[in-house]
Amino acid sequence: METKDYYKILGIDKKASADDIKKAYRKLARKYHPDVNPNDKTAENKFKELQEAYDILKDEKKRKEYDDLGSNYFNYKNGGGGSASQGQNQYYYSGNMGGGQQNYNFNAGGGEFNFEDIFSDLFNRSSKQRGPQTGQDIQAKLNISVQESVSGIEKIIDFNNEKIKVKIPAGIANGGKIRIQGKGSAGINGGKNGDLYIEIGVMSDNVFERKGNDIYVTKKIKLTEAVLGAKVEVPTIDGKIMLTVPPGTQNGAKFRIPKKGAPDIKGKIYGDEIVNIQVELPSNISDNAKKYFNELAKEGY
C-alpha cells in the first residue's frame, strides 16, 4: 500500500500551524501550476500531490486521523470508510491560459481558502495582454439525493462569499451540468465574467439507487413468502405500494414496476423501478419446523 508523507510534500514540520500549511501550499502551488509549466507532466503530478497533501492537512479532523494512524491512514482511507453524506462540494479551477482547457480539483472544505489567491500572479500576468478578455469559467460539483433528482429542487450554495440560488430541474441525471452565466472569474480589461458550471452528482442511499432513468430498490422477504407467494410493501419515490411476489420466487429475482423511475429532463419519458428480491433464510428455527424441512429434504427440495 502506497504511503505518503504530506508534511514532507509541503516542506513543513509536523508541528506546523494552519497558517504555515496554507503559506507553504500557496508558494508551491504557484511554482508547480501547469500554466506555469506547460506540457510538464512532472510538474502536473507534483501539483496534484500538493493538492492532496493540502486537502488533508488543512482539515483539522483529517489531519488528526492522519497523525494518529500514520501509515495505517492509507489502509483506512482506501477501505471505503466514508459515505455519500460526508461529501463536500468541490470546486475546480478551469482555465485556458496555456491554450488548452484544464481542470483541477479543490475541496471547498470550510470555505476558509479562496483558490483564486493561488492564481493571482497568473491572472495579473494575463491582464497585461492587450484587449478585454473573458474571465475563466469555474466548475463546481453539487451532490443531491435520488429523490431530489427525480422531483427537482432549489439549492443555495455559498460561492466566493456570495449566496447563489441553483435551480435543479426534475429528472436531471448524474453528471448533468447547470450553467450560471457571469458567476465565474471576473473578466480582464473590461471583458465579461466567466460562467459557473455546476456538475450534479446523484448519490445513492440505503433505499434508492438511480441508473439512468431507472430506480433500483432491494426488498427482503421471508422464505415462506418466497415459497408460497405473498403481497409485500415496497418503497417508491412517490410512496409505498404493494407488490405481488408469486410462489417459487428465487433469491435475486427482479420485478419491474413501470413508470416509477425518474423522468427524463424534458419530463416526457419515465423510467421504471426495479425491485431486487433478497430471500432471508431463518437463523433459528423450532424443532417442529426442522421436521418439516427434513421432510422436504427427503422429497428432494
Q: Looking at 32-41, 142-151, 227-236, which range is the least confident one?
A: 32-41
Give the chain's mean pLDDT.
Answer: 82
CATH topology of domain 209-298: HSP40/DNAj peptide-binding domain (2.60.260)
Assigned superfamily of 83-205: Urease metallochaperone UreE, N-terminal domain (2.60.260.20)
> How is the chain split into domains, by residue range?
1-82, 83-205, 209-298
Tell me, yes or no, if the two domains 1-82 and 83-205 fold the same way.
no
Which grid coordinates belong to 289? 419446523
- One of 4.10.490.10, 1.10.287.110, 3.20.20.70, 2.40.110.10 is the CATH number of 1-82, namely 1.10.287.110
Span 36-41, average pLDDT = 83
DSSP the chain: -----HHHHHT--TT--HHHHHHHHHHHHHHH-TTTSTT-HHHHHHHHHHHHHHHHHTSHHHHHHHHHHTTHHHHHHTTT---GGG---EEEEEE-TTSS-EEEEEE-TTS---GGGTTHHHHHHHHTSSS-BPPPPEEEEEEEEHHHHHH-EEEEEEETTEEEEEEEPTTPPTT-EEEETT-SSPPBTTPPP--EEEEEEEE--SS-EEETTEEEEEEEEEHHHHHH-EEEEEEETTEEEEEEEPTTPPTT-EEEETT-S-B-TTSS-B--EEEEEEEEPPSS--HHHHHHHHHHHHTT-
| pLDDT tens for each residue of 66-119 | 887 765 666 555 554 443 333 334 444 444 443 333 343 433 333 344 444 555
Cα–Cα distances (Å) from 52 to 62, 89, 159, 239, 284, in that order, read 12, 16, 21, 42, 49
Backbone angles phi, psi at 105, to 5 degrees: -85, 135
Are the C-beta atoms of 155 and 178 separated by less than 8 Å? no
Q: What is the pLDDT of residue 125?
A: 52
Alpha-carbon distance 14 to 21, whole Å?
Answer: 10
CA distances from 69 to 63, 73, 75 (A): 10, 5, 9
Which carries the bigger pLDDT value, residue 38 or residue 52? 52
Question: What integer is the mean pLDDT of 259-270?
Answer: 90
Range with the lowest mean pLDDT among 14-23, 71-80, 139-148, 222-231? 71-80
pLDDT of residue 64: 85
- Contact (CB, 8 A) for 111 and 96: no
